Structure 1
């Protein structure tokens, strides 16, 4: 694989538990090509969300190396990691993490303003239109349904035009029909902006929409990552 966007080399993750240290990930090595869509699958506790957090610099590896766009995330301090995510990544969580005192438009515009974008509100409005919520721009999260809140979260992640888009169980809190619509929007945003997409899901059907499926079990890649079309 040439010029990987994400490269993990012999990565381990150990966290402190009530009974002592718990090994979450065991020596993972994985590369993700530019423009690829990758589905991370596995049972609860398999380590797929932890792996995604390492890719986004939201969790720090205990050992090994995590590189994104050629930068060694393991060598960056927290401030540098935050700037890197702001400038290069969009992250979508199962829980929407919207700011309750801000309107949908303000929630989407905030990361753009932090990045110094002069047209932050115009771009935010355009992203809300793209996810079908232009008419709800002035509403607060409490006035929106779960599906609408997730659409706002998608618009917020996509607005800075990130090179890397990470999604952790983005349909987990939604009913089946709404979840399908959110996934369609997620892949549409990825196609529109040309981002590399890594998606965590327990739904095999959803993962198989990706170019590549990576199964995890007990903190290890369970088998060679394969092309979903195979």
Structure 2
């Protein structure tokens, strides 16, 4: 697909555990187009998070090909993958992954600094303002609620204006009100930045906001559902 920003062909994933080799993904082929919002859903253990990690080059496919923005992630070194993610991807995890010894401002500015942005702290302040945390810029993660920490994580992921935003259960550790606020920010900011959004979720209402929903079962694509035009 010519306008695909993510393209997976016949991807498998096998991991060695205590009981031997475990087959996680079985022959996944999937294209994600520019600006699309794609939801990955399915029961626990169906391979959703593993597939997302492969899309981000955080896990290597056992076989098959993974292309992102025309680059073959399967042939890249770990250093090249890290640089590619820095320049083109934002990742939001369920467990925030903020650096505890850094303030909210420093957490958001870090990827910008690594990318050599001379306005790193100015842009970080702008992003914190967009997620409603301008007044919390100098607070450390331990001084913030879960909802505030996830908003910092979202600001950090979107500050470099990534082409691709990957989110793994972004509302999983939040209550209903905070989760709803994060969802609105996630979709609003990704649309504003023109990012392609792929998210893993167990929440039907969150999946329903995506342009397309891919249902996984036992490491395979069980079905694909296009959202009805509004």
Identify the TM-score tier after normalising by the shorter chain: over 0.9
Q: CA deviation at 1:205?
A: 1.3
2:212 counterpart residue number: 212
Q: Distance in 1 between matches of 2:130 and 2:226?
A: 29
Which position in structure 2 is the counterpart of 1:142?
A: 142
Q: CA deviation at 1:213?
A: 0.4
> Equivalents in 2 of 1:147, 1:30: separation in Å?
32
- Look up the match of 1:228: 227
Match in the other structure for 1:43: 43
Q: Which residue of 1 aligns with 2:30?
A: 30
* Distance in 1, Cα, partners of 2:84 & 2:216: 27
Aligned CA-pair RMSD: 0.7
Secondary structure of the structure 2 residue equivalent to 1:100: coil
Question: Aligned partners of 2:134 and 2:164: how far apart in 1?
Answer: 25
Superimposed CA distance per residue, residues 51-99 of structure 1 (whole angstroms, 9 cap, x where no aligned partner): 0000000000000000000000000010000000000000000000000
- Cα separation, 2, equivalents of 1:44 and 1:176: 21
2:81 counterpart of 1:96: no
Please give the secondary structure, in 1, of the residue aligned with 2:80: helix
TM (norm. structure 1) is 0.98
Runs of 4+ in 1 over 4 A off after TM superposition: none
- Equivalent residue pairs, number: 229
Q: What residue number does 1:131 align with?
A: 131
Please give the residue correspondences for 1:78-227 in structure 2 after superposition, counting only pairs within 5 Å. 78-223=78-223, 225-227=224-226
* Gaps in structure 1 of 5+ consecutive residues: none
Q: Distance in 1 between matches of 2:228 and 2:90?
A: 26
Deviation at 1:4, TM superposition (A): 0.2
Name the structure 2 match of 1:3.
Answer: 3
